[in-house]
Amino acid sequence: MPATVVIGAQWGDEGKGKVVDLLAERSDVVVRFQGGNNAGHTIVADGETYKLHVIPSGILYPDTLCVIGNGTVVDPGGLCREIRGLEERGVDLTGLRLSGNAHLIMPYHIMLDGAAEMRLGRFSIGTTRRGIGPCYQDKAARIGIRAQDLLDPKILVRKIEIALDAKNEVLERLYQLPRLDPAKIASEQLEYADRLRPFIGDSSLLIDRALRAGENVLFEGAQGTMLDIDHGTYPFVTSSNPIAGAACTGAGVGPTRIDRVLGVAKAYVTRVGEGPFPTELDDADGRRMIERGREFGTTTGRQRRCGWLDLLALRYAVRLSGITELALTKLDVLSGFPVVRVSDEYETRDGERLSELPYHQTVFHGCRPVYREIAGWDEDIEGCREIADLPRNALAYVEAITEAVEVPVTLIGTGQGRADVIDQVGR
Ligand code: GDP
Ligand code: IMO
Ligand code: MG
């Protein structure tokens, strides 16, 4: 598996952390390539739960290099806290690297994220309020602060002054918030710089060398396809590209270097935040998914909206990322439903049947899912590790998905723990 991209095929929280941790055992390098600490990737290893936000999910393996790539946005204070939290639990962080080109989330980005959401009122996106959108805005506006700026105090203060010049007007006049002092922010950031300095470097070069040496490199996506700023349910999306193509720009490798794309999908669907979600359930089935799946956000603690598996959205994800295989997580959560449903088609407000996701938001907002029913299974499959041990109906469910999306399911999640998986990858 020389170069494998792992991405979320739905609306995030598909179980990418668990899958990356699993594959990281056989990887030399794991690279996060987009997003920031809006992500929450959970790993349950040996009964211990780790919630990672920007540090790659290979960090529990001391010999694996964990790179925070140039396409990410990094909150220096948040990263320092994440490092400390892991160190306190005995995790070795010597393998951590931070791209000098990664953009930094500044305190004003967090303030502006919250203020913009308040101003949008009932039209708000339901962001994680971690400053992700405003930070990517500054990157595109070319007034962003990068990790490498932490290494040059003079440049750092100058750049913060330039960025704050217009922002202080916005903070004060538009949002009635206090103006910020660039020197104070710079000195705060320089304290973090002391901690982060040893990790900062040229990550693209490091990855290139690893690939040339024939090492296994894993690219870890955050969020999910339907939250993609170009292809997701805009404007209810995040401000980066969680699809596989972004691994190239966000890590600094060419597309010819990528060998495999593993899409991670839950056996059902969840979404946090606002925005359309055709298969959403507001009934006992949805509540059962919340309870059995413990569907509460890793980063913000918000309850996740739950619904049946949407095959149109999954096929869309396969198309956008060139997914070569799927990891289907949380199949154990569906045990005990008399029937399980998958949406094969949508019906529009005009009664038209669609088998592909419509590009137009007005059409999409009006779509209702057309379900296919598949007989459920009662057996508890938690911890099941062999495909042969799956109940017949559970297997039929997996096969129905494989057939509909035309890519094989090579991993099946059967519980939270690292070992709770049917792993066909190496077979
Ligand atoms: P990520 O953001 O894609 O890494 O996913 P999160 O960590 O935010 O959410 C996934 C949740 O499901 C976490 O609590 C995982 O521990 C849990 N999880 C992952 N795979 C499985 C599985 O196969 N079964 C069960 N029951 N839980 C799982
Ligand atoms: P992981 O990597 C689920 C959602 C937010 C909101 C929208 C925009 O754990 O799968 P943002 O703060 O990014 O500007 O918020 O995106 N969102 C996520 N939903 N999982 C995530 O990450 C998410 N990161 C952002 O809830 O709807
Ligand atoms: Mg998550």
What is the per-residue DSSP string for 313-370? Answer: HHHHHHHHHT--EEEEE-GGGGTT-SEEEEEEEEE-TTS-EESS--S-HHHHHT-EEE
Is 350 designated active site?
A: no
Structure letter (DSSP) for residue 421: E
Residues 189-228 have pLDDT tens digits of 999 999 999 999 999 999 999 999 999 999 999 999 999 9
Cβ pair 57, 33 in contact under 8 A: no
Specify the ligand 2 atom closest to the Cα of 35: 13
Residues 250 and 204: their CA atoms lie apart, in Å, by 9
Q: How many residues are recorded in the chain?
A: 427
Cβ pair 5, 244 in contact under 8 A: yes
Residues 38-90 have pLDDT tens digits of 999 999 999 999 999 999 999 999 999 999 999 999 999 999 999 999 999 99
Q: Which amino acid appears at position 12 of this protein?
A: G
Task: Indicate the helix (H) or strand (E) that contains 7.
Answer: strand 3-8
Ligand 1 centroid – CA 329 distance (Å): 7
Residues 39 and 299: their CA atoms lie apart, in Å, by 7
Cβ pair 118, 174 in contact under 8 A: no
Distances (CA, A) of 248 to 91, 172, 420: 29, 39, 31
Specify the ligand 1 atom closest to the Cα of 57: 4
pLDDT at 300: 83
Q: CA neighbours within 13 Å on the CB side: how many for 325? A: 17
β-pairing verdict for 339-347 and 368-375: antiparallel
| Placement of tokens 């960025």 in the chain | 163
Pocket test of ligand 1: the residue of 10, 18, 44, 51 to mutate, having most ligand atoms within 8 Å of its CB, is 18
Distances (CA, A) of 30 to 17, 210, 222, 287: 11, 11, 13, 35
Taking residue 331's Cβ as centre, other Cβ atoms within 10 Å add up to 25
- Structural domains of the chain ordered from first start: 3-90+203-423 (3.40.440.10), 103-198 (1.10.300.10)
Q: Does residue 111's CB lie within 6 angstroms of at least one atom of ligand 2?
A: no
* Structure tokens that stand for 247 in this block: 């691994």
pLDDT at 328: 98
Pocket test of ligand 1: the residue of 52, 227, 416 to mutate, having most ligand atoms within 8 Å of its CB, is 416
Burial grade of 147 (CB within 10 A; 0-12, 13-18, 19 or more): buried
Cβ pair 380, 335 in contact under 8 A: yes
Specify the ligand 2 atom closest to the Cα of 222: 2
Ligand 3 centroid – CA 64 distance (Å): 22
Residues 283 and 129: their CA atoms lie apart, in Å, by 29
Is 231 designated active site?
A: no
Q: Which residues contact 362 (CB under 8 A, 6 or more apart)?
A: none
pLDDT at 298: 78
Ligand 3 centroid – CA 40 distance (Å): 4
DSSP 273-306: SSS--TTB--SHHHHHHHHHHT-B-TTT-PBPEE
pLDDT at 1: 66
- Alpha helices by DSSP H, listed for 25-170, are 76-88, 107-120, 132-141, 153-169
Specify the ligand 1 atom closest to the Cα of 292: 26
Q: Does residue 17's CB lie within 6 angstroms of at least one atom of ligand 1?
A: yes
* Structure tokens that stand for 307 in this block: 């619904």
Residues 231 and 214: their CA atoms lie apart, in Å, by 33
Q: What is the pLDDT along the chain (427 residues), one digit of tens a residue?
A: 699 999 999 999 999 999 999 999 999 999 999 999 999 999 999 999 999 999 999 999 999 999 999 999 999 999 999 999 999 999 999 999 999 999 999 999 999 999 999 999 999 999 999 999 999 999 999 999 999 999 999 999 999 999 999 999 999 999 999 999 999 999 999 999 999 999 999 999 999 999 999 999 999 999 999 999 999 999 999 999 999 999 999 999 999 999 999 999 999 999 999 999 999 999 999 999 999 999 998 788 889 999 999 999 999 999 999 999 999 999 999 999 999 999 999 999 999 999 999 999 999 999 999 999 999 999 999 999 999 999 999 999 999 999 999 999 999 999 999 999 999 754 4
Q: Does residue 130's CB lie within 6 angstroms of at least one atom of ligand 2?
A: yes
Short-list 265, 264, 284, 219, CA closest to 246: 219
Ligand 1 centroid – CA 182 distance (Å): 40
Pocket test of ligand 2: the residue of 19, 127, 231, 305 to mutate, having most ligand atoms within 8 Å of its CB, is 127
Q: Which amino acid appears at position 392 of this protein?
A: R
Structure letter (DSSP) for residue 72: B
